[in-house]
Amino acid sequence: MSTTAASRPYQQTHPWISFNIDLNKLTHKTWLLLGEAESKCQHVAGVPLRPEVAKDLYLIYLTKGVHGTASIEGNTLSEDEVRKRVTGDLPLPPSRAYLGQEIDNIVKAANSIIADVRQRRPMELTPERIMSFNRQVLDGLELDDDIVPGELREHRVGVLNYLAPAPEDCEYLLERMCTWLNQLNIDDEAMTFTLAILKAILAHLYIAWIHPFGDGNGRTARLIEFQLLVQAGLPVPSAHLLSDFYNKTRAAYYRELAHTSRPPYPVERFVHYAVQGFVDELRDQLAVIRAEQMRVTWENYVHESFRDGDSPAKRRQKAVVLDLTGQEGPIPPGKLPELTPRLALMYAGKGDKTISRDINVLVRMRLLRRVRGGVVANMDVIKAFLPERAEN
């Protein structure tokens, strides 16, 4: 490269691309959120789940991450359609096939990152690796003639009111970004997680600023972010959360991006926005995991409640409680035999008196509650197992 750093066009047109972050500008709220993010990621990573639940949890957040990554770039498939596509159950007509191809590309790229982590392959952030991500996200898509997947652009591009740096700066800027991020360190081992989160967000931000490719920059940025988070040891379901958050707050996302390229170039503002969103999503993710833990505890409690009885009536009553668990809303007593095939078989040939007698027994055992419209599983009973604390 013949042009020196001092004479690069971007230094006059894009002074905010400085490859510098002043950590002193991060507010105490941002630092507190970063600490909470680390704590919550450790909680997610440390919770054993039943195999089928762990698989479903992975699918849920893979779907959310992929949907967020594609949707913010204009893909119109719904989250439910993306889930079906991920599981191989969404054929699309020729006119919409490209939407499915975009999803397939992102899933394949994310899975390749996970495979690299598992196999401990070299994953240093380099311009070549970033270009390979762009090649993957654009693979098989119909593009303008001046766009080549995985190759740096040779023309000016812009997003909304933002005009990216001149194309002759792209190679230099991408190399500078990788060198800077790879060398960005804090002399404190306790800050390893925090630094990884900051690097992931900064990488995303710099790709948005540099916009090195003719297309697929956003998808490429989110793959880089995903790699850096997974490499840092985040649970894979948690590493998908930022992409989903950016999409759910799309207007704020573009607004915060725009602020960073205006004086005084508040990078710390975008960092706070991203970290706050990450923590909010982690809280929701932990709520899902806690609900599953409560369900397992409840089911164990139900089985324990029938430990000393193995009569047909006891087996039927236990089935009623377990099959009511997780149902949305109350079930009228007369509808219990229709709830599941198991209950239909157990209540075959039996009348309303048997159903009423079973319900009375289960209510006395505090395993069921009568409410308006029917009965529900009384899962509240296991809240007594939680540590006691004062309520606000």
73: CATH: 1.10.3290.10
* 355 touches 335 (CB < 8 A): no
In a domain, residue 390? The reply is no
In a domain, residue 304? The reply is no
Q: Which of 290, 318, 333 is the last residue of a domain?
A: 290
In a domain, residue 301? The reply is no
* Total residue length of the chain: 392
Mean pLDDT of 160-189: 94
Considering the chain, what is the average pLDDT of its residues?
A: 94
Same domain, 107 and 183: yes
Same domain, 83 and 163: yes
Tens digit of each residue's pLDDT (9 = 90 or more) over 272-311: 999 999 999 999 999 999 999 999 999 999 999 999 878 9
d(CA 184, CA 187): 10
Phi, psi values for residue 369, rounded to 5°:
-130, 140
Mean pLDDT of 13-24: 95
Same domain, 341 and 267: no
State the pLDDT confidence band at 326, using cuts at 50, 70 and 90.
Answer: confident
* 360 touches 313 (CB < 8 A): no
Same domain, 185 and 73: yes
Same domain, 184 and 320: no
Helix (H) or strand (E) holding 44: helix 28-45
In a domain, residue 300? The reply is no
In a domain, residue 295? The reply is no
Helix axes 352-364, 312-324, angle to 10 degrees: 70
d(CA 289, CA 165): 44
Phi, psi values for residue 74, rounded to 5°:
110, 0
210-216-218-221 Cα dihedral, nearest 10 degrees:
-70
In a domain, residue 298? The reply is no
Residue 343 has pLDDT above 90, yes or no: yes
At 358, the amino acid letter reads D
Same domain, 206 and 143: yes
What CATH number is attached to the domain comprising 333?
1.10.10.10
Residue 104 CB partners (closer than 8 Å, separation 6+): 85
Three-state DSSP at 149 gives: coil
Same domain, 282 and 357: no
Same domain, 334 and 272: no
State the pLDDT confidence band at 186, using cuts at 50, 70 and 90.
Answer: confident
Same domain, 286 and 319: no
Residue 1 has pLDDT above 50, yes or no: no
Dump the DSSP string for 317-375.
HHHHHHHHTT-SS-B-GGGGGGT-HHHHHHTTT--HHHHHHHHHHHHHTTSEEEETTEE
* 302 touches 321 (CB < 8 A): yes
In a domain, residue 299? The reply is no
Same domain, 281 and 320: no
Residue 3 has pLDDT above 90, yes or no: no
Lowest mean pLDDT among 132-141, 276-285, 337-346, 377-386: 377-386
Dump the DSSP string for 226-289.
HHHHHHTT--HHHHTHHHHHHHHTHHHHHHHHHHHTSTT--HHHHHHHHHHHHHHHHHHHHHHH
Give the pLDDT score at 7.
80
Residue 72 CB partners (closer than 8 Å, separation 6+): 218, 243, 246, 247, 250, 253
State the pLDDT confidence band at 391, using cuts at 50, 70 and 90.
Answer: low
Total number of domains in the chain: 2
Same domain, 45 and 84: yes
Question: Looking at the DSSP assignment, which residues form a beta bridge with residue 213?
Answer: 152
Find the domain containing 376 and state its range.
309-385
In a domain, residue 391? The reply is no
**Nearest alpha-carbon partner for 226 in 377, 386, 61:** 61
State the pLDDT confidence band at 4, using cuts at 50, 70 and 90.
Answer: low
* 223 touches 108 (CB < 8 A): no
Residue 5 has pLDDT above 90, yes or no: no
Residue 2 has pLDDT above 50, yes or no: no
Residue with tokens 């899933």: 107
Same domain, 346 and 230: no
